[in-house]
Amino acid sequence: MADKLVLVSGVSGYVASHIVKLLQESGYRVRGTVRSLKDAARIAPLTQLAKNPKHGLELVEADLVRDDGWDKAMEGVYAVMHTASPFPPIGADVKEEAIFRPAIEGTRRVLAAAANAGVKKVVVTSSIIAVVGKGGIVKGKKYNEEEWTDHTSEEVTVYGRSKTLAERAAWEFLDSQPEDKKFELSTVNPALVMGPPLMESHRSATSVGIMRDTLSNKPPFLPSINFPVCDVRDVALAHLKCLTNPGAVGKRHLISSGAIWFKGIHEIVGSEFNPQGCRITTRSLPNFLVRVAALFDQGVRMEVLPRLDEILELDTSRMTDVLGIKPTPMKSSLLDMAYAMMELGIVDKPAKYSGPKFSQY
Ligand SMILES: NC(=O)c1ccc[n+]([C@@H]2O[C@H](COP(=O)([O-])OP(=O)(O)OC[C@H]3O[C@@H](n4cnc5c(N)ncnc54)[C@H](OP(=O)(O)O)[C@@H]3O)[C@@H](O)[C@H]2O)c1
């Protein structure tokens, strides 16, 4: 299986870079798409992701909103990992026009090029938001891969709708294909991804921004919200397993190591870094203040209010039983992420820095 050529879309991204690293270290040949090859400083670290790869990373230009480059990118490709998609900062006021085209039309474009080129397998990076994003959590319910977000609901964010419609587009595209054009499709549906970034340019990734805020003591008070998380290395492994495990074909896969309160994240990161000189808060924001803020702030209204005091439970048995993934402990995900960000210069090292200390989970 190794030595086969795998195309990964959007390799400059936080998640995709781990997929590339793992594929290369597993012996695959990897071709990656980027929107532009011109930014040498951004491109150079991509060629250094894997330790002693058997094959170097090949890079090609392709944009999700344009046809150019995709047919050429698919030449000789055995499998595609379609990971590129805009992931705006949580709470940002994004317009549908900005992200629907690359997310939905882009997915159709990539899959059409894959079908034309006779690609055998496709793994699409979806999200739990295509499963659970109905706006408001049903108490006591354990969400599984049978569920779909209602993309018509006004309580679902623009990003949530983009991911739901993009994943639906992938399954519908496959259904619409004649037998000789069909490939094997799986989706990976991660929770909020945490874990070490591999490149300094990942400072702009939404996940990395969340940890940057924690390390810079922003926000100073924490709303009582809880969210499922997962490790970026487990997400990469899930993509690889979807490639190799026949049980993954035609299925969606929720990926999560469990749920954690916002305050819990600050407690874990604070106990490691406050003794080193950080000032990470664990002070709570009372619910009534969140409700007041929600009157004025759409981000709080859409992303925080529906989750106040709620725990979103996921059934991750496909991840453990079918893909065979034992999730990385949350503490390792959070601390490895923070240390990697300090080592990469994404955040300043605290005055009494004693790292780097990475977990051997
Ligand atoms: N991080 C999470 O918590 C999380 C959770 C669930 C699912 N996901 C999914 O995982 C995937 C990767 O997310 P990430 O966290 O790694 O975000 P990221 O670092 O922002 O990566 C997004 C990637 O998509 C590319 N992209 C965006 N618009 C594009 C376009 N028009 N044409 C070509 N490429 C385009 C970006 O390219 P540029 O570098 O050129 O902008 C970048 O490579 C996304 O599909 C996201 O929805 C992420």
Tens of pLDDT, residues 118-177: 999 999 999 999 998 765 567 788 999 999 999 998 888 899 999 999 999 999 999 999
Query: What is the Cα–Cα distance from 73 to 9, expressed in whole angstroms?
Result: 10
pLDDT computed for residue 1 by the predictor: 58
- In a domain? residue 214: no
Pairing assessment for the beta strands 226-231 and 258-261 based on DSSP bridges = antiparallel
Which residue's alpha carbon is at the smallest distance from atom 22 of ligand 1? 13
DSSP E strand boundaries for the chain: 5-9, 29-34, 58-61, 79-82, 121-125, 142-143, 184-190, 192-194, 226-231, 252-255, 258-261, 313-314
**Whole-number CA gyration radius for the chain:** 20
Q: In this structure, what CATH number is given to the domain that contains residue 182?
A: 3.40.50.720
Count up the domains in the chain and report the number. Answer: 1
pLDDT computed for residue 136 by the predictor: 59
- In a domain? residue 201: no
Ligand 1 midpoint to CA 59 (Å) = 17
Ligand 1 midpoint to CA 87 (Å) = 5
Mean pLDDT across the chain: 93
pLDDT computed for residue 67 by the predictor: 98
DSSP 103: I
Is 171 strand, coil or helix?
helix
Domain of residue 253 covers 5-194+229-258+311-328
Which residue's alpha carbon is at the smallest distance from atom 20 of ligand 1? 205
pLDDT computed for residue 42 by the predictor: 86
- In a domain? residue 210: no
Query: What is the Cα–Cα distance from 148 to 138, expressed in whole angstroms?
Result: 14
Please list the active-site residues: 163
Q: Which residues of the chain have pLDDT under 50?
A: none
* C-alpha torsion angle, residues 44, 48, 49, 54 (rounded to 10): 130
Is 152 strand, coil or helix?
coil
**Ligand 1 site: residues with CB under 6 angstroms?**
10, 12-16, 35, 63-65, 83-87, 102, 125, 127, 163, 190, 192-193, 205-207
- In a domain? residue 221: no
pLDDT computed for residue 361 by the predictor: 66
pLDDT computed for residue 293 by the predictor: 79
- In a domain? residue 274: no
Which residue's alpha carbon is at the smallest distance from atom 7 of ligand 1? 127
- In a domain? residue 139: yes
